[in-house]
């Protein structure tokens, strides 16, 4: 685990609470939920981490061939269940090369998804308009996702699942076609599937890049 908590929106290190100020602060974004990063993961570490979360820990299940989990981020007070999570995965892109995927679950106003999506506000807000452009399956049901504008190096889809924001951020932008496939998400708080693999750390694990 990275021992220096960072801001969910910009990735800069945050100031811990003091006797006179009982909150975590970012020099740019003010009071924030501190983010801790796990760049190196295995099944035992994930087993311990998943018990600390108050929101889903989404993974692709079944995982596409040659895909692996490559990092995890959790936002929130260390003494309370996490209010946001991000699980990184890496694997072959449908159109060639390698793709990076970040699946984020978060409570309203946390800003972790926006940090990966390169958006200015903490939530997608009015960006979710019109018909959805993609979907994933959760517990046998289709969950719609809306494409939101972002930097040219990535693509971003946002929806809602289990009462929380669900973000899917992919690098490069062309990797977004992955969401045209019939992808299924599993919440790791339920169980860790036997086919889940772990790989080297994702270069996109820290938000704000």
* pLDDT tens for each residue of 7-47: 999 999 999 999 888 899 999 999 999 999 999 899 999 99
Domain extent listing, the chain: 34-187
Cite the DSSP H helix spans in 112-205.
112-117
Q: What is the pLDDT of residues 91-122, one digit of tens each?
A: 999 999 999 999 999 999 999 999 999 998 89
Q: What confidence tens digit (pLDDT) does each residue in 114-161 have?
A: 999 999 889 997 778 889 999 999 999 999 999 999 999 999 999 999
**Exposure string over 102-140, b if 16+ CB within 10 A, otherwise e:** bbbbbbeebbbbbbbbbbeebbbeebbeeeeebbbebee
pLDDT at 78 exceeding the cut of 90 = no
Res. 2: pLDDT tops 70? no
Q: What percent of the chain has pLDDT over 70?
A: 99
Question: Whole-angstrom Cα distance, residue 28 to residue 141?
Answer: 39
Helices (H) and strands (E) in the chain, counts: 2, 12
The reported pLDDT for the residue numbered 126 is 77
């Amino acid at each position: 685990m990275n021992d220096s908590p960072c801001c969910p929106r910009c990735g800069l290190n945050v100031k811990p609470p003091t006797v006179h100020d009982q909150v975590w602060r970012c020099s740019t974004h003010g009071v924030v939920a501190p983010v801790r990063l796990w760049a190196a993961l295995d099944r035992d570490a994930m087993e311990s981490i998943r018990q600390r979360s108050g929101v889903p820990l989404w993974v692709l299940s079944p995982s596409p061939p040659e895909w692996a989990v490559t990092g995890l981020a959790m936002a929130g007070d260390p003494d309370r269940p996490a209010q946001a999570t991000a699980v990184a995965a890496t694997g072959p892109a449908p159109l060639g090369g390698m793709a990076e995927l970040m699946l984020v679950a978060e409570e309203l106003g946390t800003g972790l998804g926006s940090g990966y999506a390169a958006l200015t506000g903490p939530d997608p807000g009015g960006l979710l308009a019109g018909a959805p452009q993609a979907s994933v399956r959760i517990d046998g049901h289709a969950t719609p996702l809306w494409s939101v504008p972002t930097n040219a190096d990535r693509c971003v889809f946002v929806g809602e699942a289990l009462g929380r924001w669900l973000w899917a951020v992919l690098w490069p932008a062309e990797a977004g076609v992955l969401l045209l496939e019939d992808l299924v998400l599993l919440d790791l708080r339920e169980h860790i599937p036997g086919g889940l693999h772990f790989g080297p750390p994702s270069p996109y694990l820290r938000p704000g890049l």
